[in-house]
Amino acid sequence: MSSHAANAQAGEGLLSKERIIAHPGFNRWLVPPAALAIHLCIGMAYGFSVFWLPLSKALGIKEAIKCGPDVGFIAQLFTTQCDWPVSTLGWMYTLFFVFLGLSAAIWGGWLEHVGPRKVGVLAAVCWGGGMLISALGIYLHQFWMMLLGSGVIGGVGLGLGYISPVSTLIKWFPDRRGMATGMAIMGFGGGAMIGSPLAAEMMKYFATPTSVGVWQTFAVMGCLYIVAMLIGAFGYRIPASGWKPEGWEPPAASQANAMITQNHVHVKKVWGIPQFWLVWLVLTMNVSAGIGVIGMASPMLQEVFGGSLIGISAKFSELDKAQLTSIAGVAAGFAALLSLFNIVGRFFWASLSDKLGRKMTYTVFFVLGGILYFSIPASAGMGSKLLFVGAFCIILSMYGGAFATVPAYLADLFGTQMVGAIHGRLLTAWSTAGIIGPVVVNYMREYQLGLGIPREQVYNQTMYILVGMLVIGLICNWLIKPVNPKHFMTPEELAVERQIAHDRATASAVGASHAGYHANSMATVYLAWAAVGIPLAWGVYRTLLSVGKFFH
> Is 479 in the same domain as 522?
no
488 strand-pairing partners: 265
Q: H-helix or E-strand containing 543?
A: helix 522-551
Whether 136 and 149 share a structural domain: yes
Asked whether residue 248 is assigned to any structural domain, the reply reads: no
Whether residue 544 sits in one domain with residue 475? no
Measured between alpha carbons, how far is 54 from 56 in angstroms, rounded to an integer?
5
Establish if 12 belongs to a structural domain.
no
User: Which pLDDT score, from 0 to 100, does residue 253 have?
Assistant: 58
- Residue where a domain stops, chosen among 472, 489, 506: 489
Q: Verify that 470 and 549 share a domain, yes or no.
A: no
Angle, helices 86-114 vs 419-426, to 10°: value is 160
Q: In this structure, is residue 370 part of a structural domain?
A: yes
pTM above 0.85, yes or no: yes
Residue 428 and residue 354 share a domain: yes
Burial label for 284, CB within 10 Å (0-12, 13-18, 19+), is: buried
Per-residue pLDDT, 224 = 98
- The answer to whether residues 217 and 361 belong to one domain is no
Q: Which residues of 215-233 are buried (b: 16+ CB within 10 A; e: fewer)?
A: bbbbbbbbebbbebbbbbb
In a domain, 187, yes or no: yes
Quick one: how far is CA 423 from the chain centroid?
A: 13
Identity at 3, one-letter amino acid code: S
Q: In this structure, are 207 and 329 located in the same domain?
A: no
pLDDT score of 505: 63
CB–CB of 349/400 below 8 Å? yes
What pLDDT sits at residue 520? 52
**Co-location of 171 and 263 in the same domain:** no
Of the three residues 463, 489, 515, the one that is the final residue of a domain is: 489
| 265 φ/ψ angles, rounded to the nearest 5 degrees | -105, 140
Rounded to the nearest angstrom, the gap between the alpha carbon of residue 302 and the centroid of all alpha carbons in its chain is 27
Q: What is the CATH number of the domain that holds 343?
A: 1.20.1250.20
**pLDDT tens-digit series, residues 83-129:** 998 888 888 888 888 899 899 999 999 999 999 999 999 999 999 99
Per the structure, the complete domain to which residue 323 belongs is given by 253-489
321 shares a domain with 258:
yes
**H-state helical runs in 357-459:** 358-382, 385-414, 419-426, 428-450
Residue 519 is predicted with a pLDDT of 45
Q: Provide the residue count of the chain.
A: 552
Does 352 lie in the same domain as 444? yes
Cβ atoms of 35 and 164 within 8 Å: the answer is: yes
Whether residue 10 is contained in a domain is answered as no
Indicate the number of domains in the chain. 2
CA distance 484 to 274: 10
Q: Which residues pair with 265 in a beta bridge?
A: 488
- Residues of the chain under the 70 pLDDT cut: 1-12, 252-257, 295, 504-520, 552
Helix (H, G, I), strand (E, B) or coil at 211: strand
Which of 474, 489, 504 represents a domain boundary (last residue)? 489
DSSP 509: G
Same domain? For 279 and 140 the reply is: no
Shared domain check, 541 and 477: no
